[in-house]
Amino acid sequence: MTTKARPDRAQQLLLRGFLKRESKPAALALKFSIALGTFNALLMIAGAYLLAKIVHVVMFDTAGLSEVSDLLWALGGIALARGIFLALSQRLSAHAARNIKSSMRANLLEKITRLGPRFTDQKGHGAMLNTLHDGVEALHDYYANYLPSVAYSALIPLAILVVIFPTDWQAGLIFLFTAPLIPFFMILVGHKAEQLNQARWQQLAVLGNYFFDRVRGLTQLKLFNATKRELIQIAKISDDFRHATLSVLKIAFLSSFALEFLATISVALVAVIIGFRLFFGTLDFATGFVVLLLAPEFYLPLRKLGNHYHARLEGISAAGDMLEILQTPESASPEPKNTAPSGFTSLTSKSEIRLKKLTFTYPDSNEGLHEVSLSLPATGMVAFVGASGAGKSTLFDCLLGFHPQVISHVNVNNLPLSEGDIPSWQQGIAWIPQQPTLFYTTIKENILLAKPDATMDEVKRAAQLAGALDFIELLPNGFDTLLGEQGEGVSGGQKQRIALARAFLKQAPILMLDEPTAHLDSATELSVQNAINEYAHSHLVLVIAHRLNTLKKASNIVLLDNGRIVQQGDYQSLSQQAGPFKALLTSDMHEVENA
């Protein structure tokens, strides 16, 4: 199993800078949280002095309860205020971490949307889900616990030294010389733990991808009797991940033990020296008691920093994958961005759409589209054909706004679109891929996704046009039937018809399809094809065609090859003239001529 190399120092600085920049949405809340925590520490120092004074006057000045009641009330007030400040500080830091996570997820989802479906396929759905869920969640402890601990480990010991040195400089020197041992050992152990944690994080991504793919292909595994073999492989990968996790935990437990041991020895050293000085009379009781009270508090922030150091490792490991996504180039062509709206408002059934020299290539590849120019009618059906890899799906991705950097090559009514127009542009498009997505909700809610305020009559009309009404009404709960994940509970053809009903309900000016009748029986196919043909009378229908029947119904056919338009026209004229289309018909489509 391969994993990414451990980030070098320059990369770690880059990742820490990235995490710092991402904290801007909640920077004020984090700073206020740290300020409250620091003020809580100052109250702790004041409380230690006050408690020492109370004990001193009671033991050595034989003061009664009435004489120290004011001091006791003050001590109680300090304890109450510390509790309030601590609760507010923790609440604020947690709130800040949640805001940062929400902002990070929004940025990642926006970037993934801009990169398009091809990027998620290359990255792996399992790894992507791990980054968006577990990776972002790993940032919670980094921002809510680790960053405040870094601030406290610098501020609180310094504050204690400031008040201890004038009181007892000898104890101050012990604090000063023993304090660096804890962070030094933490960094020493953390160096190894960081390397192990990086490997563990990458193994989690591998496990996520592998498991996701096997679950999705479970039917094929059972058909080829490969289930047991894959279970063994999953167990092996899981075992590797378990060993990696245990290695990180082993280092973490060792680190915690060492830090606690060093802190305990340091406090014991201070206590022994204070005890001898009290015994020989070179130190008064009040001062010695204050030092003993403050000694554990001096090392506490450093111990907490060690305990939360694993949050730093998790955060930096997760940040590497996030930064990789955010820095992925969106196109090989460095075109300037134009995010200002161009004046485009919405698509209508009378909009004139033209593509002007649209060029898009994938990073580190020459695959894509090259100077595609095309005029699309306001209504009618346009079929796109070509061999696998010709650029049909890439062209549809560009039209759907999945590659915003080339949207300016799309003109509507002689007005080039900008990135700011993409949401309005997408509102005028309905899209149905070969494998449509149905959500874990009722059939009615799946259809209403296209038009939430539609009436039930409109829903039924859309379902009837898509050839779905009959089978839906035969279900026990009809439109209220709950579908499982990815439409579990209905057949592949029924999923397609529900997706078509959703598209018909939207009544978008442009309907984009990837062979909508591929999973339908002949009777339903005829019904759906007639509905699409009727829809094309008043709307523009763009379809990636794999069937001869679809091509015959198209008013215009566009043939793509190697990312370029090589031929276009109606079926009658193209099929009678020698050229790429006729060659494609005889080589790729003769077997479906009677489909």
- The answer to whether 253 and 196 have CB atoms below 8 angstroms apart is no
> What is the bridge-based pairing of β-strands 415-416 and 410-412?
antiparallel
- Cα distances from 142 to residues 9, 132, 136, 300, 347, in angstroms, run 19, 16, 10, 18, 46
- The answer to whether 359 and 528 have CB atoms below 8 angstroms apart is no
* DSSP-derived 3-state class of residue 510: strand
CA–CA distance, 316 with 318 (Å, rounded to integer): 5
> What's the confidence (pLDDT) of residue 67?
82
> What's the confidence (pLDDT) of residue 35?
92
Sequence-ordered strand ranges (E) for 386-503: 410-412, 415-416, 429-432
The residue behind tokens 């442009």 is 510
CA–CA distance, 460 with 469 (Å, rounded to integer): 7
CA torsion sign, 205 to 210 to 215 to 216?
Answer: positive
> What's the confidence (pLDDT) of residue 578?
78
> What's the confidence (pLDDT) of residue 569?
87
Q: Could you please state the CATH topology (level 3) that the domain comprising 436-507 is classified under.
A: Rossmann fold (3.40.50)
- Cα distances from 470 to residues 304, 480, 486, 497, 524, in angstroms, run 65, 14, 21, 11, 11
Over the chain (595 residues), what is each successive 10-residue block's mean pLDDT? 51 78 84 91 90 85 81 91 92 90 87 76 72 83 87 88 85 82 68 63 68 70 73 80 74 72 83 85 84 87 77 77 81 49 68 88 79 89 86 88 86 85 86 83 89 90 86 88 80 83 89 76 75 86 83 87 88 82 68 42
CA–CA distance, 19 with 377 (Å, rounded to integer): 49
- The answer to whether 275 and 315 have CB atoms below 8 angstroms apart is no
> What's the confidence (pLDDT) of residue 332?
45
- The answer to whether 580 and 415 have CB atoms below 8 angstroms apart is no
Q: Which residues contact 117 (CB under 8 A, 6 or more apart)?
A: 397, 402
Q: What are phi and psi of 278, to 5 degrees?
A: -65, -40
> What's the confidence (pLDDT) of residue 519?
63
Q: Name the strand (E) or helix (H) holding 383.
A: strand 380-385
* DSSP-derived 3-state class of residue 570: coil
**Does the structural domain 348-428+512-519+539-546+553-590 have CATH classification 3.40.50.300?**
yes
CATH superfamily of 12-326: ABC transporter type 1, transmembrane domain (1.20.1560.10)
> Do 348-428+512-519+539-546+553-590 and 436-507 have matching folds?
yes
Angle 181-216/309-326 helices, nearest 10 degrees?
Answer: 50
- The answer to whether 345 and 412 have CB atoms below 8 angstroms apart is no
Residues linked to residue 565 through DSSP beta bridges, in sequence order: 560
Of 99, 84, 531, 144, nearest in space to 304 by CA: 144
Domain ranges of the chain: 12-326, 348-428+512-519+539-546+553-590, 436-507
